[in-house]
């Protein structure tokens, strides 16, 4: 999955670049957390703690990008 993310850098995707990277980041996070950290089989409260951290990280990252006018297209 990391190779796909690095490969996306060399493709000209225009406005789709950042949403695709964010989607791949979420998929990678969910894969690592659920399988390698064994949260798939643990108590659901632990999974919710990690998922809430993911949502918070996404919101902070999008807010930072918006602050620097990343989505304006200029």
Decide if pLDDT at 73 tops 70: no
Q: Model confidence over 19-49: pLDDT tens digits? A: 898 899 889 988 887 788 777 788 888 888 8
CA distance 22 to 3: 15
Q: End-to-end alpha-carbon separation of the chain, Å?
A: 29
Q: How would residue 56 be classed by pLDDT, with cut points 50, 70 and 90? A: very high
In the chain, where the domains are located: 2-72
Q: How would residue 62 be classed by pLDDT, with cut points 50, 70 and 90? A: confident
- State percent of the chain over pLDDT 90: 14
SS3 of residue 73 by DSSP: coil
CA distance 43 to 60: 27
In 1-74, at which residue ranges do the beta strands (DSSP E only) sit?
A: none
């Amino acid at each position: 999955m990391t190779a796909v993310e690095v490969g996306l850098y060399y493709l000209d995707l225009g406005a789709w670049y950042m949403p695709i990277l964010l989607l791949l980041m979420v998929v990678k996070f969910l894969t690592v957390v659920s399988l390698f950290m064994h949260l798939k089989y643990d108590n659901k409260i632990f999974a919710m703690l990690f998922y809430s951290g993911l949502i918070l990280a996404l919101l902070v990252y999008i807010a930072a990008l918006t602050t620097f006018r990343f989505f304006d297209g200029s």
